[in-house]
Amino acid sequence: MIKVGIVGGAGYTAGELIRLLINHPDVEIVFINSNSNAGNPISDVHSGLYGETDLKFTDELPFEAIDVLFFCTAHGDTKKFMESHTLPEELKIIDLSMDYRLADESHDFVYGLPEVNRKKLIRCKHVANPGCFATAIQLALLPLAKNLLLNNPVHINAITGSTGAGQKPSATSHFSWRNDNISIYKPFTHQHLAEIGETLHMLQSTATDELYFIPVRGCFSRGIFVTLYTDCSVSEEELYKIYNEYYDDHSFTHISTKPIDLKQVVNTNKCLIHIEKKGNKVLITSAIDNLLKGASGTAVHNMNLLFGLKETVGLMLKPSAF
- By annotation, the residues acting in catalysis are 132
d(CA 107, CA 81): 14
Phi, psi dihedral angles at 7 (to 5 degrees): -110, 125
Task: Give the amino acid at 183.
Answer: S
Identify the helix (H) or strand (E) that includes residue 13.
helix 12-22
Of residues 96, 106, 101, the one with CA closest to residue 117: 101
d(CA 112, CA 124): 10
| Contact by Cβ (8 Å): 265, 319 | yes
d(CA 136, CA 177): 26
| Contact by Cβ (8 Å): 99, 123 | no
Phi, psi dihedral angles at 204 (to 5 degrees): -140, 105
d(CA 146, CA 200): 8
